[in-house]
Amino acid sequence: MKTVLKFSMLVAVVAISGIPLTSSAHAYGGRNQQWQVTVSANCNVPSFPACGGFISGFWGWCEFGGTNPTAQSGDSGDCQVTVYGRQGTGMPQNPAHNAVDVTGWHIGVVEGMAPYAQFIIDSATVKCTGPGASGPSCFGSMPFPQPTGIPGSPGHYDTLAILGVLAVPGVHFNAQVNLLP
């Protein structure tokens, strides 16, 4: 009983004094990490313009880093994105997992694409695995620099913010963008 009481007192003293028992942690990445991003989309209405005639979706996250004090460009990053797509109901999904090792990125506006500043991957290597690795779900054949469509400022973004149109049932786009301290 005395041991439990002593331990409880120690925990209370540490909690009150603000002594950190753990260092601050980031979800992934190294010490130069500046941004953490999560993205997801579901396009289950092929006739919706953003779906391009397909039933498809993706889920993923990225971290962007570097030593630029403005956090507007960097030389490191990592993205993990899984994509699926199919021609119609009952067709195979052919998912592909894209592991993107980013070696250069910046935030900028891409003329003719989106009216907002977005993350642009300037250089990277891509490893694509899964049943759809040889198909359009694989990022390996995309040229660089490559706009991501991910807004380049902190916040939560939905279909209207990303695509400029209201979502319909079965269509959903989301991005959560965090600038790290």
Quote the pTM value. Answer: 0.78
How far does CA 154 lie from the centroid of its chain? 12
Question: In 10 A of CB 83, how many CB atoms?
Answer: 24
How far does CA 104 lie from the centroid of its chain? 16
Least confident of 22-31, 98-107, 140-149, 168-177: 22-31
Taking all residues of the chain, what is their mean pLDDT, rounded to a whole number? 82
What pLDDT does residue 21 have? 35
What pLDDT does residue 176 have? 98
Are the CB atoms for 173 and 161 separated by under 8 Å? no
- Residue 56 forms beta bridges with which residues? 43, 85
